[in-house]
Amino acid sequence: MPEQPGPEKPNQPGPYAGPPPTPPTPPTPPTPPSHPAGQPHQPPQPHPAPRYPGPPPGPVGPQSTPPTHQAPRRPAAGSPPPGGKAFGFFVGLVSALALVTVIGFIVFGALAPSGGGLGMGGHVGLVRAQGMISAETTGGMFGSVGVAPEPFLDELETALSSPACEAVVIRIDSPGGTAAASEEIYRGMLRLKQDYPGKPLIVSMGDVAASGGYYMACAADYIFANSATATGSIGVRSSFLSIEDLITEHGVEATSITSGEYKAMGSMYKDMTEDERAIFKHQVMLIYDDFVSAVAEGRGLPKADVRQVADGRVWLGGDAIDHGLIDEIGGLQEAVEHAGSQVGLSDPEVYDYSLMSLPFGSFLEASSEAMLRGGERYLMERGAAGGVKPFRLQMSGGPLGE
């Protein structure tokens, strides 16, 4: 049957078919040139960007103003960073000190006579031995403390090898030290005397030159000491500490595992046996005999006479001269004058060879000393200083001169 038309239904939306097609845009005809014919075409000028007019006005009030956050300021180009001024000042100061040091050595070297090495022509060299005697000195950048064989003998050889140094004074201010280091210095001084004959070695004792300090003095040709100088103390000492009873009282036990019977002798954790005591006594007497022999050889005394005064006691200068342990009562100035008289120098100049061996921290002292000495010699050679007396070094114990 043919379909019968039903009642008319309201319009209902159907499925979305997309936007209607856009009709094609007709081509835009070319714009005729706006400039007159026959004139060149000028390119269009760019329009300036519009200026920002600022934020729109708003109500004025403390709550309407947003908080402002300022960015950290950057240093201007070429300006030093924070702390740069202090660092620059430090660098400049170090550079200035180095420059002063270099100039001092240059001036000193230029004014020194030819062949004088580090000295100033014919002079008496000064070498110091101050402090405890041991294998190595202690200290740091700004100085060292004590007397060690290697640096001391190096300073002494530097003085003796200088063509301008005609005699050497050794200033001893030492209470002694280790036996081996004292003996090494003594034998080293004897060797240098043989290597550089004709240059006297004179010892000047300060406050104290005892034990190892006197041991090394015996290698000198002549010895000066003050009346109150403590010297002598010819002897050897070996000390030990025992805490066996103390640790036993508190219930502490110490155990040593050794490879031999005497490996732990001298240990503080046990008392010394008679056999161990006899061994140490034998060693002490061997060193003592070497000490007595050195005194007898250096002072030209019989060993029997040396043993009478070599009981370990300290002798003052007045008694020491009576026993033949020193030659003359006098200080450093007297020792310098005596050294000069042995080589024909009247009122001799003094050059401190120990000063030049000090580390970097003492370069300023050395450079200023060099400039003062060189400058005075420069004036004296030209007669500008008149009757200026020869320069005298300032010592740690007082001036050499007047």
Confirm whether 263 is a catalytic residue.
Answer: yes
* Catalytic-role residue among 95, 238, 242, 263: 263
Contact 282, 275 (CB under 8 A): no
**Amino acid making up residue 48:** P
The CB density around residue 267, as the number of other CB atoms within 10 Å, is 18
- Cα–Cα distances in Å, from 157 out to 44, 127, 218, 284? 94, 10, 18, 31
Structure tokens at 98: 């180095």
- The whole-angstrom distance between residue 311's C-alpha and the CA centroid of its chain comes to 40
Question: Radius of gyration of the chain from Cα atoms?
Answer: 47
List Cβ neighbours of 262 (8 Å cut-off, separation of 6 or more).
275, 276, 279
Query: CA nearest 136: which of 128, 145, 127, 125?
Result: 145
φ and ψ of 130, to 5 deg: -125, 130
* Catalytic-role residue among 174, 211, 233, 367: 211
Confirm whether 85 is a catalytic residue.
Answer: no
Contact 112, 356 (CB under 8 A): no
Active site residues: 211, 263
